[in-house]
Amino acid sequence: MKKKIFYIVLTMVISSAVVVGLFVSSEHIMKRENPFTRRFLPHPVTDNQGMELPYNSYYIAGIHNDEIYLGNHSAPLHGLSVNSKSAVADTIALKLEDVSKYPFQSIKWRTSGDSILLHDSGLGLFYKGNISKKILVHKTTVSPGSYSSITTMNNNKIVLRAFNSKKNNVTLGMLNSKSGTLNIQEALLDEEGQPQDLFSNDGILLYNEHLNKIIYVFYYKNKSFIFDSELTNRQVLKNIDTISRPNFKIEYLKQRQELKMSEKPIYVNKAAATAGNYLFILSDRMGKNERREMYDQADIIDVYDVRDLTYSYSFYMHHFKNTPITEIYADGDYLISTGGTILNITRFKKSLYE
């Protein structure tokens, strides 16, 4: 009898210990050394409020007071403001105080709070204005064709993704729109043992206001760099994806004097956005133990915690009118996305800021 009780207790203790052990190490692996196993949270965002836009050339410029502002690539000074609650869209027109002065090439604008920042990367011109007035004033100029994308911070600071086509590299710089000083820091995006050219280090530049961090998400490898507001203290956030270096090589074709990718590039991170404590990444790469058929019906957003650089969870964004997402934007509790002529509006149910 005693022996039996001993065996019974032993059995129960061992199997409990095994389960608890599996749980603890699974949590550790999922967060820190995730081997590309996604964890799908059921419904972390509200039902998608999808709507159709008149053209497929809109991009997301920002959100302010529940109004979503969309810029238009093909009509650079025109845009839409969409009320996130009523889904009513209004056209907006921006005015530049000296519009006839320059041959504008590639205008893009974005909102930050109630201010608008407009820039032309081809000419290196920066304009600023207010959402209510929509008249933009020339602020500062940098050398034409020296950067490819920007993100805005508070205090007139603008972070630039600067590139040097002669040296064939890309890095980050800080521009003060008031004083006009530009401070480019060399080799911020380079990593030892990795290709360091313009293409391989291509990615998405973001600013997280809540944590006051600058985030650079690489397109072609499973990494994002997190910097503090002075572009120092680089931290590496490793994605759950398994591609740790770009799958292509850059070859120089002497005869045609062109750089060419050796293979079709695989996007590890297709689009990214940040709000609260989190980084959101749009991925179409399939992880372990997933349903393949979901990839025809939905896009996947992976969520990372920027504070401790860990993977949090993933969720599906079901296609609205069979249209995949190509761009995402987050602010407050909003997650906005576009793809083709579709605008998707969802909100996170739980606070991103706690």
Partner 1 sequence: MRNILSISRKAVIYFFIILFVYAAVSKLADFENFRVQVAQSPLLSAFATFIAYTTVIGELVIALMLCFQKSRLLGLYLFLGFMTAFTVYIFLILNYSPFVPCSCGGVLEDLGWWEHLWFNGVVCLVTVIIILLSNHFNFCLDTKVTKNQDSIF
Site for partner 1, rule CB under 8 A: 1, 3-5, 7-8, 11-12, 14-16, 18-20, 22-23, 25-27, 29-30, 34-35, 37-42, 288-291, 313
* Of residues 291 and 318, the one with the C-beta less far from partner 1: 291
* Of residues 37 and 149, the one with the C-beta less far from partner 1: 37
Distance of CA 337 to the CA centre of its chain: 11
Nearest distance in Å: CB 27, partner 1: 7
* Of residues 249 and 350, the one with the C-beta less far from partner 1: 350
CA distances from 256 to 248, 253, 265 (A): 19, 6, 21
* Residue 219: partners with Cβ closer than 8 Å, 6 or more residues away: 202, 203, 204, 265, 267, 268, 269, 270
* Of residues 40 and 248, the one with the C-beta less far from partner 1: 40
Cα-Cα end-to-end distance for the chain: 54
Nearest distance in Å: CB 35, partner 1: 7
Give strand pairing partners of 207.
214
* Of residues 289 and 322, the one with the C-beta less far from partner 1: 289
Distance in angstroms (rounded) separating the CA atoms of residues 22 and 216? 34
Nearest distance in Å: CB 36, partner 1: 10
* Of residues 246 and 287, the one with the C-beta less far from partner 1: 287
Distance in angstroms (rounded) separating the CA atoms of residues 147 and 162? 4
* Of residues 218 and 311, the one with the C-beta less far from partner 1: 311
Nearest distance in Å: CB 349, partner 1: 12
Give the 3-state secondary structure of residue 93.
strand
| Token pair for 2 | 């005693």
CA distances from 346 to 41, 325, 349 (A): 15, 13, 9
Nearest distance in Å: CB 291, partner 1: 6
* Contact criterion met (CB below 8 Å) for 265 and 246: yes
* Contact criterion met (CB below 8 Å) for 279 and 304: yes
Distance in angstroms (rounded) separating the CA atoms of residues 43 and 54? 29
Nearest distance in Å: CB 289, partner 1: 3
Nearest distance in Å: CB 288, partner 1: 7
